[in-house]
Amino acid sequence: MISALLLNIIVLCAIAALAAIVLYCVSQKFMVEKSPLEEAIFETLPHANCGACGKAGCQAFAEACNQADTEAFAQLFCPVGGNEVMAKIAKLKGMNSTQKARTCAVLRCQGTCQNAPDKMAYTGLKSCRVANLVMAGRGGCPNGCLRFGDCIAVCKFGALSLNPETGIPRIDYQKCTSCGACVKRCPRGLFEIRPIIDGEQVYVACRNQQKGAIARKNCSAACIACGKCSKVTPLVTIDNNLSYISSDIVPQEYGQKLADECPVKAIIYRTHM
Amino acid sequence: MKTKTFAIGGIHVDKHKISSQSAIQELALPEMVYIPVKQHIGAPAKIVVKVGDRVKVGTLLAEADGVLSASVYASVSGQVMKIEEVNSGQGYLETVITVKREGDEFEESMDLSDEIVREIPDNKEELLKIIRSAGIVGMGGAGFPTPVKTNIPEGKSVDTLIINGIECEPYLTADSRLMEEKAEQIVIGTRILNKILGIQHAIIAIDENKPQAIARLQEITKRYVGVNVQSCKSIYPQGGEKQLINTITGREVPSGKLPLDAHCVVQNVATVYAIYEAVQKRIPLFRRVLTLSGNADLTPSNYLVRIGTPISFILHENQVNMDNVGKVIAGGPMMGQAIAALEAPVTKTTSGITVLSAETADKPETSACIRCGKCVDACPMGLMPLNIRAAVEENDIAILKSLHVQDCILCGSCSYVCPAKIPLLDYCKIGKYELGRQQKAK
Amino acid sequence: MYKISTSPHMNSQQTTQTIMRDVIVALTPAMLVSLFMFGIQALIVLATSVASCVFFEYFFARRLKLKNTTSDLSAVVTGVLLALNLPATMPIWMTVIGAFMAIVVAKMAFGGIGKNIFNPALVGRVFLFISFPVQMTTWITPRFMDFFNIDATTAATPLNILKHLGAGEQLTTGYWDLFIGNIGGSMGETSVLAILLGLFWLLKQKIITWHIPVFYLGSFAVCMFLSEIVTGAPRFDVLAHLLSGGLMLGAVFMATDYTTSPMTKKGKIIFAVGCGVLTYIIRVFGSYPEGVSFAILIMNAFVPLIDKYCHQYVYGTGRK
């Protein structure tokens, strides 16, 4: 009895040892050489693997940072980690870091349930990308928010949530990392990554390119391209019946004035962000 | 005659051909018609009339702008009231020419008699020119300008002309009625296409559940050597271009290519009838046959309708009980588009209007996928819709590409058969959209 | 306001529930035979199994905050299949344990209907088989139409006799008895006739395709036939092997389970042939007389792999 037990134990141990040796040999043979610097850079990254930097993931970004010369390094930026992480990487590499202004995603639409009430009853898969193929939108605006929240599903940082009152997504500016996933996902291209200058931001929250009268029929907050804002500063341009504020604008200087001028309240001026 | 069918997939749908015995009747004329300038794939037609102009039936309203475009004609006589952008059925804006009807006057050049003209002009270029100027597009639903489809580019060859008399969509019977009532005209139209393509033979494909149409056309084609009738299995989507080519010739259209690459040209019977009218009777495309049917409270009918007639007018003429209407579809229930605004007009590609009752308008509630594989068996393209759905949910573009999602023909067989009622076609659409967008970005 | 939605605007009448209902209809002949042959004991096992399967599904769906899916009848199907795989003398508490393993461990723990890797009823059966081998292999002789007789006369199953058949010996049970089910065995597996009636219904209602049953039985028969030719031993009697044990029940109802079988025709054939060959190996070389449950469970594990490599031919990509 004892001997049988012993034999079992010995056989099992032998199999385990053999497997361990095989595993060790294989791992040695297929080991990928990684420079310690690349490892160190990878450790400092936020590990969101969002691809916002334009690389396939954090590992790829670390590799690119490691291989970059001064010039190429200036082009690299991790929007999730921001200046802080880039400064750390620069220190590891002994170079100067790129410093970028704080940014966040903004939703350029105010087609809420109140401003653009439902005109069509949609039934089926609750997805903006599908609804976009069969209708102009529940509110009737062919450029506006479809209010099914595809962007919310794609946000990895929990910065987007559907506001039950308005029906459109709202953005948590503290959580938004400007990764750009929502920009890519929205079939109507309603998101834009815009700089926050001294905690302030000003932008046109509308993408409707129809003539004013038609746009107003569907949405009370639609830009009617009246041109009042463009008289304030040349940084505001009007194209295709739609006003656009350049991201070079200084919100402290013009923000309040632009917001006051807009008769339909399509311009949003945000402070203390 | 042996019944043929295609090799991959296909489903049996409930046919509901309740309007198949009602003869085509001419619909009363509406007070106003709204004629969109873009009823086809390609550039919108260039408007050549002004507000206030007086027009007759068959007066040119907008001219084809370039090769991939089609002219638009007035469908009633009267005065051009407005040229403006209005909401289409889906809520998007489209430019329409509004004509207020006064009387019913026709352009003199048209031959409106019932007499069948059998002599076909011999000049190929001349024939193509007439078809182009008549504004004929694929009337089965795609709306691809017919002259482009029949003009064979250098280096390509065609050996088979297929006339698509298959109406695999449930409820619709317009094509089947047309084949019964205008059989000889369709055969003459086929002969015209033969001349343009420079080939001697043509096959008129009809599904087996239309014995009257088959018998009628077989009788006629005895007098026209080279035109043959082929009965096809009544299975959805037999009328899909790629499926029909496979049914008739056994060939396949290579992935991402056109029917021309399988040496085939496929034309819908309604298009062929329009070609006959344009060439033999000098009648441009200003009217079409459509079916009004569905499970709502209505009289199933086949109408000859002027293009631009508001759908609401047709429903009103038919005395549809609007209280119980849940969904109005331009086209059949499998591939048609639901419309929200009933003022939307009939266009060249509206082969039917399906009205569903309120009880059947909602999409059914979905449950979990049980991996039954019915969607895989159903897909006529050999795709795996449930895997496409998984890839869409993961947003994995590389896998979507390997699953050939771009080959999806949007027939909806997968959504139809799914016992869990998962809208698989919607996922395929997202897949196509995401893949297309990524390829565009490159 | 008229509804807007994507096409198609029609759906087939078939739902998960109607599919499961058809499977239950297909199982009815086997259930009736088990009632006729094993009387009230069979009824008790059936009722216990179905009731506990449905209860576990309902209870754990609530606990795990999943959608309540008992109305799709899949738990009923699992319950019936589990019962048909047990002997009529099974104690109630053991049946409940089997149902627990089937529903909670094999199905709900993986995420509920459609997400399980292994056939739930088979997991339940195999668990009971390993844990309570004596109760699971105590077969009683059938007592036709003697409903309330619970005096058990134990009997060896034909498979057991077959396995230990020496040269020159013959199986005493006739093929006809094997076919109609006048033998000892699990409740549902004895009558091949009843199972074939079920198969006919499943095929007629297009619930399953013919591929899995035919290739399963075919590959098994071919292996047995070759052994019979080579050795000439009576224990390789092909017909007796096909008609006895759980082979028919497994090939028609277990291996064809949607969730745990491959999707494409090619995949189904590979899966079925694998099941057939494994059943043959276990029956001939293994220590158990029966190998159907193990064969199907082993092949279940390969389904994701088969599905990964067996794709449909895509139209227009050029056949090789």
CB contact under 8 A, A121 and C2: yes
B265 and B130 housed in the same domain: yes
pLDDT at position C151 over 70: no
CATH number at residue A57: 1.10.15.40
Phi, psi of C154 (to 5 degrees): -75, 150
Of all helices (H) and strands (E), which one includes residue B62? strand B60-63
A62 and A156 housed in the same domain: no
Helices C192-204, C16-63: crossing angle, 10 deg rounding: 100
Contact yes or no for B280/B191 (Cβ under 8 A)? no
To the nearest whole number, what is the mean pLDDT of chain B? Answer: 91
Contacts of C2 in chain B (CB under 8 A): 325-328, 338-340, 342, 361
CB contact under 8 A, B427 and A124: no
Average pLDDT, integer, range C3-22: 92
Q: Which of the other chains make 3 or more beta carbon contacts under 8 angstroms with chain B? A: A, C
List the structure tokens of B276: 């006959």
Distance CA A41, CA A160 (A): 29
pLDDT greater at residue A55 or residue C305: C305
Phi, psi of C60 (to 5 degrees): -75, -30
Domain boundaries, position B407: 374-441
Contacts of C4 in chain A (CB under 8 A): 120-123, 134-135
B277 and B391 housed in the same domain: no
Average pLDDT, integer, range B399-428: 94
Computed on alpha carbons and rounded to an integer, the radius of gyration of chain B in Å comes to 22
pLDDT at position C320 over 60: no
List the structure tokens of A225: 């391209």
Domain boundaries, position A48: 36-93
pLDDT band at B389 (very low <50, low <70, confident <90, very high): very high
pLDDT at res. B36: 93
Average pLDDT, integer, range B178-183: 93
Contact yes or no for A145/C26 (Cβ under 8 A)? no
Report yes or no on B205 lying in a domain: yes
B133 and B277 housed in the same domain: yes
Report yes or no on A13 lying in a domain: no
Looking from the CA of A223 toward its CB, the CA atoms found within 13 Å total 30
Of residues C1, C2, C5, nearest to A134 (C-beta): C5
Distance CA B204, CA B230 (A): 6
pLDDT at position C146 over 70: no
Average pLDDT, integer, range B345-372: 91
Give this prediction's pTM: 0.89
A177 and A127 housed in the same domain: yes
Distance CA B97, CA B83 (A): 5
- Interval B186-203: pLDDT, tens: 999 999 999 999 899 999
Burial class (CB in 10 A: 0-12, 13-18, 19+), B309: buried
List the structure tokens of C79: 């319950």
- Interval A178-234: pLDDT, tens: 888 899 899 999 999 998 888 888 999 999 888 888 888 888 889 988 888 888 888
CB contact under 8 A, A119 and B340: yes
Report yes or no on B2 lying in a domain: no
B268 and B390 housed in the same domain: no
Bridge partners for B267 per DSSP: B163
Report yes or no on A259 lying in a domain: yes
pLDDT at position A80 over 90: no
pLDDT at position A96 over 80: no
- Interval C89-122: pLDDT, tens: 899 999 999 999 999 999 999 988 889 999 999 9
Bridge partners for B231 per DSSP: B206
Is the CB of C3 inside 8 Å of chain A's CB atoms? Answer: yes
CB contact under 8 A, B334 and C72: no
Size of interface A-C (CB pairs under 8 A): 24
CB interface of A with B, residues 126-165, below 8 Å: 127, 129-130, 133-137, 140, 142, 154
Contacts of B337 in chain A (CB under 8 A): 134
Contact yes or no for B224/B201 (Cβ under 8 A)? no
Distance CA C242, CA C192 (A): 9
CB contact under 8 A, C316 and B242: yes
Q: Nearest-CA distance from C80 to chain B in Å?
A: 19
Contact yes or no for B332/B172 (Cβ under 8 A)? yes
What lies within 8 Å, CB to CB, of A9 at 6+ separation is none
Sheet holding B46-47, edge to edge: B46-47, B60-63, B72-73
Report yes or no on B87 lying in a domain: no
How many Cβ atoms from other residues are within 10 Å of residue A23's Cβ? 10
Of residues A123, A134, A154, nearest to B363 (C-beta): A123
CB contact under 8 A, C264 and B242: no
Q: Which of B281, B316, B347 is the last residue of a domain?
A: B281
A63 and A159 housed in the same domain: no
Q: What's the structural domain count of chain A?
A: 2
CB interface of A with B, residues 187-226, below 8 Å: 187, 210-211, 214
Of residues B253, B340, B376, nearest to C264 (C-beta): B376
Report yes or no on B248 lying in a domain: yes
Q: Which of A54, A74, A93 is the last residue of a domain?
A: A93
Contact yes or no for B216/B237 (Cβ under 8 A)? no
Size of interface A-B (CB pairs under 8 A): 50
Contact yes or no for B10/B380 (Cβ under 8 A)? yes
Q: Kindly identify which residue of chain B lies nearest to residue C315, measuring between CA atoms.
A: B381
Contact yes or no for B150/B189 (Cβ under 8 A)? no
pLDDT band at B298 (very low <50, low <70, confident <90, very high): very high
Average pLDDT, integer, range C30-57: 92
pLDDT at position B413 over 60: yes
Q: Nearest-CA distance from B341 to chain A in Å?
A: 9
pLDDT at position A262 over 70: yes
pLDDT band at A254 (very low <50, low <70, confident <90, very high): confident
Q: Which of B281, B302, B335 is the last residue of a domain?
A: B281
Report yes or no on A20 lying in a domain: no
Phi, psi of A228 (to 5 degrees): -65, -40
Most confident option among B105-119, C18-32, C152-166? C18-32
Phi, psi of A14 (to 5 degrees): -65, -45
Task: Give chain A's length.
Answer: 273
Is the CB of B363 inside 8 Å of chain A's CB atoms? Answer: yes
CB contact under 8 A, A214 and B426: no
Q: Kindly identify which residue of chain A lies nearest to residue C3, measuring between CA atoms.
A: A121
Phi, psi of C218 (to 5 degrees): -65, -50
Contacts of A120 in chain C (CB under 8 A): 1-2, 4
CB contact under 8 A, B419 and C2: no
Q: What percent of chain B has pLDDT over 70?
A: 100
A86 and A131 housed in the same domain: no
Distance CA B174, CA B79 (A): 30
pLDDT greater at residue A132 or residue A272: A132
Q: Kindly identify which residue of chain C lies nearest to residue B404, measuring between CA atoms.
A: C314
Sheet holding B54-55, edge to edge: B32-36, B93-101, B78-87, B54-55
pLDDT at res. B243: 94
Q: Kindly identify which residue of chain C lies nearest to residue A129, measuring between CA atoms.
A: C6
pLDDT at res. C211: 93
How many Cβ atoms from other residues are within 10 Å of residue A4's Cβ? 8
CB contact under 8 A, B340 and C314: no
Q: What percent of chain B has pLDDT over 90?
A: 70
pLDDT at res. A253: 86
Distance CA B322, CA C82 (A): 52
Q: Best residue in A118, A126, A135 to probe B by mutation, most B CBs within 10 Å?
A: A135
CATH number at residue B208: 3.40.50.11540
Report yes or no on A10 lying in a domain: no
pLDDT at res. C147: 65
Dihedral over alpha carbons C116, C117, C121, C123 (to 10 degrees):
-120
pLDDT at res. C145: 63
CB contact under 8 A, C315 and B371: no
Average pLDDT, integer, range B378-406: 92
Is the CB of B372 inside 8 Å of chain C's CB atoms? Answer: yes
CB interface of C with A, residues 5-24, below 8 Å: 5-6
pLDDT at res. B235: 93
Bridge partners for B172 per DSSP: none
Distance CA B358, CA B320 (A): 13
Q: Where are the strands (E) in chain A, listed by range?
A: 103-107, 121-122, 160-162, 169-171, 191-195, 201-204, 236-239, 242-245, 267-270
A160 and A248 housed in the same domain: yes
B241 and B133 housed in the same domain: yes
Contact yes or no for B158/B194 (Cβ under 8 A)? no
CB contact under 8 A, A135 and B427: no
Distance CA B7, CA A142 (A): 41
pLDDT at position A55 over 90: no
Residue B373: what residue type? Answer: G
Q: What's the structural domain count of chain B?
A: 2
Residue B84: what residue type? Answer: E
Distance CA A105, CA A160 (A): 10
CB contact under 8 A, C10 and B333: yes
Q: Which pairing describes strands B264-268 and B160-165: parallel, antiparallel, or unpaired?
A: parallel
Q: CA–CA distance from A126 to each of A130, A148, B427, C5, C287 (Å)?
A: 8, 6, 11, 10, 55
Contacts of A116 in chain B (CB under 8 A): none
**Domain ranges for chain C:** 16-136, 158-174+195-309
To the nearest whole number, what is the mean pLDDT of chain A? Answer: 86
Q: Nearest-CA distance from B339 to chain A in Å?
A: 8
pLDDT at res. B295: 92
Q: Best residue in B90, B329, B414, B442 to probe A by mutation, most A CBs within 10 Å?
A: B90
Q: Which of the other chains make 3 or more beta carbon contacts under 8 angstroms with chain A? A: B, C
Is the CB of B137 inside 8 Å of chain C's CB atoms? Answer: no
3-class DSSP state of A197? strand
Lowest mean pLDDT among A104-113, B21-30, C142-151: C142-151
pLDDT at res. C47: 95
pLDDT at position C150 over 70: no
To the nearest whole number, what is the mean pLDDT of chain C? Answer: 89
Distance CA B227, CA B218 (A): 9
A73 and A144 housed in the same domain: no
Q: CA–CA distance from A215 to each of A189, A259, B6, B93 (Å)?
A: 18, 19, 48, 11
pLDDT at res. A4: 79
Is the CB of A81 inside 8 Å of chain B's CB atoms? Answer: no
Q: Nearest-CA distance from B251 to chain C in Å?
A: 9
Is the CB of B429 inside 8 Å of chain A's CB atoms? Answer: yes
For A114-183, the DSSP string reads TTS---SEE-S---HHHHHHH-S-TTS-TTS--SS-HHHHH-TTS-EEE-TTTSSEEE-TTT-----HHH
Is the CB of B242 inside 8 Å of chain C's CB atoms? Answer: yes
Of residues B254, B338, B360, nearest to C316 (C-beta): B254
- Interval C118-137: pLDDT, tens: 999 999 999 999 999 888 88
A76 and A202 housed in the same domain: no
Report yes or no on B47 lying in a domain: no
Contact yes or no for B361/B340 (Cβ under 8 A)? no
Size of interface B-C (CB pairs under 8 A): 155
Q: Which of B281, B303, B330 is the last residue of a domain?
A: B281
Report yes or no on A216 lying in a domain: yes
Quickly tell me which residue has 């002994």 as its tokens: A94
Q: Which of the other chains make 3 or more beta carbon contacts under 8 angstroms with chain C? A: A, B
